[in-house]
Amino acid sequence: PEKNHSIGGYNMMAKFTAEGNVTLSSEVATRNYEAGDTLTSQYDIISDMGPVLTFNTYNEILHYFTEPKGSSDVDGMAGDYEFVFMDVKPDKIILKGKKYDNKLVMTRLEEPTDPKTYYKSILDKMVESSLFGGFYLFVNDDTLCIANIVDRTMRISYEDRDEKGDTIVESESLAFIYTPTGFKLYEPFEYIAMDMKESVTMENFEWNSEKKSFVCTDAGVNVVFEGYVDPNFELYYEDYLGEWTCEYTAGSTKRSVKVQVVEEVKNKSVRLKGLTFDILMNYDAVLGRLIFYGQRVGTWNGASVDAASWQVTSPGNLNTSSNYGMVTSWNRKESPMVLTWEDRGTWQYKVLGFILWANGGEYKGGGDSRFAYISMER
């Protein structure tokens, strides 16, 4: 989904009947359905300057990609539910989304395929490769740059030369879709940089568990994304999940409360439960840290409540922007394992806590509103 391919692709299965019914499943879990669960709705082929496939009744599995994610994100993942036929062959149909130009490729399944088994094979590759903070890109056995996976895009930056011969840095975001064996780019990527005599075009990659690498399987192409762990890496996503004792200062009072860190989006974000409001934290897969950021956490007396990044020391500046906040720092011990919340370093002021802020004033609806000098231990 997403017109500019800032988000990569997702796998779905669809079974169509002549009566206008379609049964869908997806590799993504929605609010009410697990990955691989099926849900039947309706479809139609209509005429709109050519034949159009429309999923004309609501289906939570499909519309997960099309629905708004909130008042500030009206496009959500910018997926489509109406598609124009572009190319039709007996074993493959290529369609384009009417609104966002998303490409939908439907490949005929010759044999019955269990959705849960199929999606698990994809998830296994995702989980194994997500254990790495990034990847070294090798082209023809030369190390060229470091790459990172973000929202199913492979993001790379590499040195090249401009028309004057000066060294410049080029950046690319390569959208891809996971497959049972690795991943496939949205479209072939032609790479040429820094005095290369010939370009290299890449598209299909297979995960090699032994080499911890995505290896290009295109004929005659020698390209590898080799997983690496940053020397400053701290903890894997799963290490953060579970019960912790959270200590912080509320005003002049020191607190110690039990909290739970639970999965929000696997390998991407967590939810911290047990404080006055739930707090969302992103997971930095490169450095293995949790990131707190300014965010909307709830409502009180009809007003929105924000967790605002707080300078703590005088003059005590606040900021609700998601660009500012704190990161966790691990004490490098298994027992006791301690996470200290430290300044993220993205604001001119040092953030050492957060305040619950509502309607231009401090939240007073019950529970603590000030959280300073935070740590978590187990």
Taking only the tens place, the pLDDT of each residue in 326-361 is 999 999 999 999 999 999 999 999 999 999 999 879
> Which of the given ranges, 144-153, 204-213, 228-237, 280-289, has the highest pLDDT on average?
204-213
Report whether pLDDT(320) > 60. yes
pLDDT band at 183 (very low <50, low <70, confident <90, very high): very high
pLDDT digits (tens, 9 = 90+) for 207-260: 999 999 999 999 999 999 999 888 888 998 999 999 999 999 999 999 999 999
Report whether pLDDT(312) > 60. yes
Distance CA 333, CA 313 (A): 29
Tell me the average pLDDT of the chain.
92
Distance CA 181, CA 205 (A): 8
**pLDDT computed for residue 158 by the predictor:** 82
56-78 burial by CB neighbour count: b if 16+ within 10 A, else e?
ebebbbbbbbbbeeeeeeeebbb
Report whether pLDDT(69) > 70. no
**pLDDT computed for residue 103 by the predictor:** 92
Phi, psi at 126, each rounded to 5°: -60, -45
pLDDT band at 2 (very low <50, low <70, confident <90, very high): low
Distance CA 14, CA 26 (A): 9
Distance CA 261, CA 284 (A): 15
Are residues 182 and 11 in contact, defined by beta-carbon separation less than 8 angstroms? no
Average pLDDT of the residues in 189-216: 90
Specify the higher pLDDT residue, 359 or 15. 15
Report whether pLDDT(52) > 70. yes
- DSSP class of residue 161 equals E
Report whether pLDDT(192) > 90. no
Distance CA 15, CA 38 (A): 10
Distance CA 190, CA 176 (A): 15
pLDDT band at 71 (very low <50, low <70, confident <90, very high): low
Q: Which residues pair with 299 in a beta bridge?
A: 304
Are residues 77 and 66 in contact, defined by beta-carbon separation less than 8 angstroms? yes
Cα angle 307, 330, 326 (rounded to 5 degrees) comes to 25
**pLDDT computed for residue 231 by the predictor:** 84
Specify the higher pLDDT residue, 255 or 31. 255
Report whether pLDDT(73) > 70. no
Percent with pLDDT over 90 in the chain: 72
| Residue ranges of domains in the chain | 12-111, 120-228, 237-377
Q: For the whole model, what pTM was predicted?
A: 0.67
